Chain A
Amino acid sequence: MQQTKQRLLTGNKALAEAIRLEMERDPNVFVMGEDVGVYGGIFGATEGLFQKFGPERVIDTPISETAFIGAAIGAAAEGMRPIVELMFVDFFGVCMDQIYNHMAKIPYMSGGRVKLPMVLMTAVGGGYSDAAQHSQTLYATFAHLPGMKVVAPSTPYDLKGMMISAIRDDNPVVFMFHKTLQGLGWMDQLDASVGHVPEEAYTVPLGKANIVREGTDITIVGIQMSVHQALEAAKRLEQQGIQAEVIDLRSLVPLDKETIIQSVKKTHRLLVVDEDYLSYGMTAEIAAIAAEHCLYDLEAPVKRIAVPDVPIPYSRPLEQFVLPNADKIFREAIQLVNE
């Protein structure tokens, strides 16, 4: 993409801008959740919106997730387009019934006659010692349950474009943003959390993966943080003469199988990286797709890096041990290529 004029925004500002533009365009769009008002969202996703739209359209709720997420369903059924924030994805436990039994199923059970054009926005990710109830990256939990789109962008550009797509989508969308990629002043400062974002409204399709680096020797599939880790590993692999292709899935549901399959057919090796738990997760899904569609193109077994099925521990050495990182990807990729 050729950019003439660069306008750098953090992830959170890109998100808030997307919501603002859609709120200006469509009076049916409103935001609801804990601390989305004056505070601007704990992870800044609604920064500035309260000041602009006031308490009627940017609604602070009590700590009653079942009620306010359920209320978003009810409002969406009436033709509104609510964006509702579940502060940390880890809190889904108190309100999952509304999410998977109702938000995800009503459109289907009604034979398509009830549409629920709502966005459930939530924060994922660890790495800063917030421990087991605040650090999970629960992509698979939601992706496993049919009826909702599940998206997880990795750049400010995609955060904005995919949020606009999500708001305009007539299906319920679970929109996961990664805390570290919000570019907040009190998190690790990553270059990846700042990027070019055009001023106007634009959409990025939900369900289309992005080849963020082309390569010929190995395909590394990741999403959100693991994409950036894979890119870092790819740079180091290049110094070893290995050209890694890196795919940013961007969306788990719908899943862009075709891009993965084509890439594996080209590189013949596949490494999948995920900040979610290993078993029954995204890495298993991608490995199964490779086995089903391009097993004979593979020259080595598929490898996976993910959290090894333990709750996220608090203490830094323990947490760093379980999370994926560029080193692990680099080592695993080298091994795979040399198999």
Chain B
Amino acid sequence: MAISKDHLLWMYETMYKIRCYEDKMAEAYAEGKSPVFNIGAGPVPGEMHLATGQEPAAAGMCVHLKKEDTVTAPHRPHHHAIAKGVDLNRMTAEIFGKATGLGKGKGGHMHLFDPDVKFSCGGIVGAGIPHALGAALAAKKKGTDWVAVAFIGEGAANQGAFHESLNMAALWKLPFIVVIENNQYGISVPKTASTAVPSNDVRAAAYGIKGYYVKDNDPIDMYNVSKEAVERARTGQGPSIIEIETYRYLGHFQGDPEVYRDKNEVTLLRQKDPIIRLRNYLLNECGVTEETIAQLENKATFEVDQAYAFARESDYPKPEEALEDVFV
């Protein structure tokens, strides 16, 4: 399959941007939380789930999506949000709890909503799947070629909402795709202890739909598989499941003692970093120059820096604003 170079460059830039974003978030989150780690302290309080290492799933799928396509994401949502084109300034401001944030500071890191690019996420495992199902239903009813993609972790594939939604999507032949990011753990529970089948793409057979598996966090393979699934969805051939073997470099949340895994595991995973692999592929196989790469990287870094500056400079909401946006 011939791959568009523009697409690959976009993917590289996006993955690089996501990585910068998460690295910077890890720093911002740590501020004010020492000497004793206090989850509620510092400029970014609450839980924080970062997606460092999981960039290929988001970039490889979203490169095929347009603004009108819907994406729902789980509690670990930054990479999907960035790849879907969520306003980076307002997203960051939201995570800092500022009035300029996507949800005026009411939602926070796990609850980012940007209707302008049809993105949403949430903190209840599996709950985004039926929301994407509904978006796919709406797309079909409206007679559009829009698709809806639900990103989830492999742990969420054991939730009732997953099975119920896939059955309905298959039954109604909806333009619906579930992307399962298998980073091997649901918090501390390894996949082998929570799911009886080795990979979730085989579950597609239970619904009579298409299943794909992407090995080793491979961005190119993710690109190809997603392209096919999106085309199938746009042309009325129904839903798909994509499972990608991906890597979670960090703990489940920042501050996770990670008692359940060998520290060495991450060192080995980092040696196969997907961003470095894509970079090498661009340089060696696609005739892209170091200079072009550097330009993309600078652009991404600049955007991320801007977003953090915007967030930090923004004001907090006034306390009484807690009573707005709901009828009291």
Chain A residues proximal to chain B, CB less than 8 Å: 34-35, 37-39, 42, 60-64, 66-67, 90-91, 93-94, 127-134, 185-189, 308-311, 313-322
B37 at the interface (CB under 8 A from A): yes
Q: Which residues of A contact B110 (CB under 8 A)?
A: 131, 133-134
Mask: chain B, 297-322; 1 = CB below 8 Å from A; 0 = not? 00000000000000000001111111
Q: Which of B38, B107, B160, B326 contacts A64 (CB 8 A)?
A: B160
Q: Are the C-beta atoms of B187 and A62 separated by less than 8 Å?
A: no
Q: Are the C-beta atoms of B328 and A309 separated by less than 8 Å?
A: yes
What are 29 A-B interface contacts by the 8 Å CB criterion? A37-B189, A39-B188, A60-B189, A60-B193, A61-B189, A61-B194, A62-B155, A62-B189, A62-B194, A63-B158, A63-B159, A90-B124, A128-B39, A130-B46, A133-B123, A185-B37, A187-B38, A187-B39, A308-B322, A311-B106, A314-B105, A314-B109, A316-B45, A316-B316, A317-B318, A318-B105, A318-B321, A319-B322, A322-B322
Cα(A37)–Cα(B161), bound, Å: 25
Within 8 A of A (CB), among B17-54: 36-40, 45-47
B126 at the interface (CB under 8 A from A): yes
Q: Are the C-beta atoms of B260 and A132 separated by less than 8 Å?
A: no
Q: Which of A61, A128, A186, A318 contacts B319 (CB 8 A)?
A: A318
Main secondary structure of the interface of B (DSSP, over half): loop
Q: Are the C-beta atoms of A315 and B317 separated by less than 8 Å?
A: yes
Closest residue to B318 on the A side, CB-wise? A317
Q: Which of A34, A131, A185, A186 contacts B108 (CB 8 A)?
A: A131
Chain B residues proximal to chain A, CB less than 8 Å: 36-40, 45-47, 94, 97-98, 101, 103, 105-111, 122-127, 155-156, 158-161, 186-189, 193-195, 255, 259-260, 316-323, 326, 328
Interface centre among B37, B101, B107, B156, by most chain A C-beta atoms within 10 angstroms, is B107
Closest residue to B43 on the A side, CB-wise? A316
Q: Which of B45, B159, B188, B328 contacts A310 (CB 8 A)?
A: B328
Q: Which residues of A contact B259 (CB under 8 A)?
A: 38-39
Closest residue to B316 on the A side, CB-wise? A317
**With A39-B187, A316-B45 known to touch, is A133 a contact of B124 (CB < 8 Å)?**
yes
Closest residue to A180 on the B side, CB-wise? B40
Q: Which of B94, B158, B323 contacts A308 (CB 8 A)?
A: B323
Q: Are the C-beta atoms of A310 and B323 separated by less than 8 Å?
A: yes
Q: Are the C-beta atoms of A130 and B47 separated by less than 8 Å?
A: yes
Q: Which residues of A contact B328 (CB under 8 A)?
A: 308-310
Interface centre among B186, B188, B194, B255, by most chain A C-beta atoms within 10 angstroms, is B188
Closest residue to A55 on the B side, CB-wise? B193
Q: Are the C-beta atoms of A318 and B106 separated by less than 8 Å?
A: yes
Q: Which residues of A contact B45 (CB under 8 A)?
A: 128-129, 316
Closest residue to A60 on the B side, CB-wise? B189
- A313 → chain B, closest Cβ, in Å? 5
Q: Which residues of B contact A63 (CB under 8 A)?
A: 125-126, 155-156, 158-159, 186, 194
Q: Which residues of B contact A67 (CB under 8 A)?
A: 160
Q: Are the C-beta atoms of A131 and B107 separated by less than 8 Å?
A: yes
Cα(A67)–Cα(B191), bound, Å: 17
**With A133-B122, A308-B328, A310-B328 known to touch, is A62 a contact of B158 (CB < 8 Å)?**
yes
Q: Are the C-beta atoms of B159 and A94 separated by less than 8 Å?
A: yes
Q: Are the C-beta atoms of A134 and B123 separated by less than 8 Å?
A: yes
A133-B122, A317-B316 are known; give 4 further A-B pairs, CB within 8 A.
A39-B187, A63-B186, A133-B110, A133-B124
Q: Are the C-beta atoms of A34 and B189 separated by less than 8 Å?
A: yes
Q: Which residues of A contact B187 (CB under 8 A)?
A: 34-35, 39, 42
**With A39-B188, A315-B317 known to touch, is A131 a contact of B158 (CB < 8 Å)?**
no
